[in-house]
Amino acid sequence: MKLVCSGGRKRLAQGWLDTMAREYVWLECTESGMRNYRVPKEMRGTERLELMKYCPKLRKHTLHKESRKK
């Protein structure tokens, strides 16, 4: 299958596909307030991320919520 890129779109043998709108967001620890992780996220029609991740300051897994870089 041959890919041809032009203007943010990819053309496959079947037709045109739009590339997904993705943006980087930060995951902030709810207990310490530190922003520990930066992850890509699709922005169209998604809810805010909430994940259990490791916090190096507290040295344990805590809830991290999505926070956009200010």
For residue 25, what are the contacts with CB-CB under 8 A and spacing of at least 6?
Answer: 38, 39, 40, 41, 49, 66, 67, 68, 69
pLDDT at 64: 97
What domain count does the chain have? 1
In a domain? residue 5: no
In a domain? residue 56: yes
What whole-number distance in Å separates Cα of residue 48 and Cα of residue 39? 12
User: What is the residue-level pLDDT of the chain in tens, covering all 70 positions?
Assistant: 555 555 555 555 555 555 567 889 999 999 999 999 999 998 888 899 999 999 999 999 999 999 976 5
In a domain? residue 40: yes
pTM of the entire predicted model = 0.66
pLDDT at 3: 52
CATH code where residue 39 lies = 2.20.28.120
- Which domain covers residue 40, as residue numbers? 21-67
What whole-number distance in Å separates Cα of residue 68 and Cα of residue 66? 7
In a domain? residue 58: yes
In a domain? residue 57: yes
